[in-house]
Chains A and B, each alone.
Chain A
Amino acid sequence: MTPQNILLIPKIERGFVIDHIVAGLGIPVMALIGRRPELGDAVVTLGLNYKSTRMGRKDMIKLQADALPERLLQMLALVSPGVTIKRIANFEVVEKVVIQVPELFDNLARCINPNCITNGEPHVATRFKRLESGSKHFKCGHCERVCSLAELAGHLKA
């Protein structure tokens, strides 16, 4: 570890590291964390533009928290799929999970079609089903409009 790394994003004793965030998505991911009241007391550090052999550049976030809310993990799959979540205990990585794009987003985003009934009646839970395995496109369970992952990420619900 270089002295620069230590200075900018210190090791944590206990908590989570969200690693391999595509450079530029660190701030949107921070915004997701900021929206979770369960994490209101957590100490969070954000690192941007780290050199990465695999990704060229990457962002990274460390959270000192006991648990990550389920809804945050679901939203991460929408905003920044491919990130690695590392659970840290006693300064060591004890568990590592890569967040994958799921087959279904359950009430995480609004439909991009302004004429979709789910936008007319906002209490209705939305769902978006993956077109096929491996696809980055999803079909609205109501109006059947096909949206990309990026479009849905721009229409997150609370």
Chain B
Amino acid sequence: MKKDLISIDDLGLEQILDYLDLAARVEALPAEKKAGLLPGKILATLFFEPSTRTRLSFESAMCRLGGRVIGFSEAANSSTAKGESFSDTIRTVEQYADVIAVRHPKEGTARLAAEIAGIPILNAGDGANQHPTQTLLDLYTLRKFFGRVDGLKIALVGDLKYSRTIHSLCRALLAFDGVAMTLISPESLRLPGYLTKAAAGTTATFRESESLVDALRDSDVVYMTRIQKERFPDLVEYEKVKDCYRLEAKMLAGAPARLKVLHPLPRVNEISPDVDATPHAGYFEQARNGVIMRQALILDLLDARP
């Protein structure tokens, strides 16, 4: 049976750990070896909404495995603009490729693509629902920095209400042992209650904190997200809170040496550029890990594990 990666909720802890191990094996391979793993294979990147970073990461992953890439990055340029249904696009493109990465503004599209297509589907983001490769690369990044995910103290900062990245990461972290999450967000952008409730019966804990600086002193990881102006009905409110959730190098003075700052990128104002030069900046390495994790996933889905 063909494999897909649609939702982090489809993966048990065992399978997540297996992907993390596979990514580590892929990373350890010499570049020449990697470049010979998928000769003649084609990845189609179907991006019905633009997400340059994610698309380039998938494409880099495939190219460095010796495969090729076709695709489009905006529905406006594709046949969808001429009225073709999503289902028809998938049925057509599966004739052209060996694996498809799909991103779409509507929820449920990747699942539908997986039902329709006879080739593996990778969900590169379906509306507000899932972005499983991001979650896996985040977990891989945590394990690379700390050697483990269990027991980490992670501060989640910014828009915790709408951030798909945060929701998905939280849910995945609940499967690990004793992860302590500190939530730092404006009143109106708090983590949804269903997620904090989901911690009941697990070894994970949640606590809320007012102060980013306090959280920095007592965390292994600070995961920053962007606070979007559009989320605030009242711009006065936005102006009041925006700087409370901005990280600058001087705030890191009292932080433990092990502290790493992560961000799904692109960042806007929430991490000052002066953080980049500190040993705490982890977000560019996180982006690099994204390519490695996507390589691992493509190899797994194409039954070409090294």
- Chain A positions near chain B (C-beta within 8 angstroms): 111, 113, 115-118, 120-121, 123-124, 140-145
Contacts and interface: CB of A to CB of B under 8 A. Distances in A.
Given A143-B127, A143-B129, A144-B129, A113 B107 contact: yes
Interface residues of B, number: 18
A143 B126 CA distance: 8
Nearest to B112: A117
Contacts of A118: 108, 112
Given A124-B87, A142-B111, A144-B130, A117 B104 contact: yes
A30 B27 CA distance: 63
Interface string B114-142: 00000000000011111000000000000
Nearest to B86: A121
B107 A121 contact: no
Contact of B107 (A123, A124, A143): A143
A118 B85 CA distance: 12
* 6 A-B pairs closest in CB distance: A142-B108, A143-B107, A143-B108, A117-B108, A117-B106, A117-B109
Contact of B86 (A116, A120, A143): A120
Contact of A141 (B105, B111, B128): B111
B7 interface: yes
A117 B115 CA distance: 13
A143 B6 CA distance: 10
A115 B85 CA distance: 15
Contacts of A123: 87
A7 B108 CA distance: 52
Contact of A115 (B87, B106, B130): B106
B177 interface: no
B9 A144 contact: yes
Nearest to B109: A117
Nearest to B107: A143
B75 to A, nearest CB: 12
Nearest to A126: B108
Contact of B112 (A113, A142, A144, A145): A142
Nearest to A146: B194
B190 to A, nearest CB: 19
A123 B111 CA distance: 15
Given A140-B108, A142-B109, 20 more contacts: A111-B108, A115-B106, A115-B128, A117-B104, A117-B107, A117-B108, A117-B109, A117-B111, A117-B126, A118-B108, A120-B106, A121-B87, A121-B112, A142-B107, A142-B108, A143-B106, A143-B126, A143-B129, A144-B9, A144-B108
Contacts of B105: 115
A115 B7 CA distance: 17
Most A C-beta atoms less than 10 A away, residue of B7, B112, B127, B130? B112
Contacts of B128: 115
10 contacts: A115-B127, A116-B108, A120-B86, A121-B86, A140-B108, A142-B109, A143-B107, A143-B127, A144-B7, A144-B129
A113 B85 CA distance: 19
